[in-house]
Each structure stands twice: as structure tokens, then as C-alpha cells.
Amino acid sequence: IHGVWPDHTDFVMNDCYPTKKFTNIKDKAILNKLEPRWPQLTLDKSTSLNDQEFWKYEYEKHGLCCEDVYNQSQYFDIAMKLKDSIDLLNILKTRRILPGFKYTGDQISAAIKKVNQKDPNPKCGYSKAGLELPEVGI
């Protein structure tokens, strides 16, 4: 997971409540469920569980925009449920789209849409190895 971003048809929902803040998650059971689904890849596990910087950033930038409907706990619960319901790596593997090989955006999108029934938003970018797929929006 990179983030869970609320949508609005007329505008982008970012930084809706700049004065409201993320509250560090203290419940160990929730942390143990959240961390493998939404790892903070730039930090070691212990530091990320203590500091929670990436979760804080994502919640303050995007999660607070839906606070009137979902509180912080519900926001992270929804993120985990979405992650569990859409296993992109398994979807791609089942459709024989494997890391290290070349595919078109249409091939990747069609494979995901067959399972998810919705058009995904693959985001390609260049790296030292060439064009790669670092992110898929669902």
C-alpha cells in the first residue's frame, strides 16, 4: 500500500485539515496487522513502528479528508481490508504477468480488470533498468 486517497469528482482531496494531526497507533495487535500490509520501506521495522512517519504523512495528507465519514482507526482498517481484497501480485502472477518481463500497459490493465472489474491506473516510470511499473492505482 502506498496510500488510501478519498476521491471527489470535482477536485483533488489533499491536505483538507492542516491543523488536525495523526495520533500514533499504540495497539500492538493493530500494528502487527498493519505493518506487513503497509510497510514503511525507508525505515527498519522497529523504527517505523515507533515513529509511524509514513502512516502519519498519508493520514494527514489524505485520510483526514474523509474524517467526517471515517475516523483514523477506520481509515487504516479500510486500507488493510482493501489490501487483503486486492492482491495485485497474485492477480498478475495468475495472469502470467511476471517481474522481469515486458508487458504493455493494456496487458497489465486487462489482467487486473478481469479480476477487479474496474479499470486500474498503472503508473509507469523510468529507472536505470528502463521503463518499470512501480505503482498501480485501484
First to last CA, the chain: 11
**Residue 62 known to be catalytic:** yes
**Residue 60 known to be catalytic:** no
pLDDT, tens only, 19-48: 999 999 999 999 999 999 998 888 889 999
**Residue 8 known to be catalytic:** no
Any idea where the domains of the chain sit in the sequence? 1-85, 88-137
pLDDT of residue 133: 84
The mean pLDDT value for 102-128 works out to 89
Q: Assign domain 1-85 to its CATH superfamily.
A: Ribonuclease T2-like (3.90.730.10)
The mean pLDDT value for 107-133 works out to 88
Of 62, 67, 132, 135, which residue is the catalytic one? 62
pLDDT, tens only, 36-83: 999 888 888 999 999 999 999 999 999 999 998 999 999 999 999 988
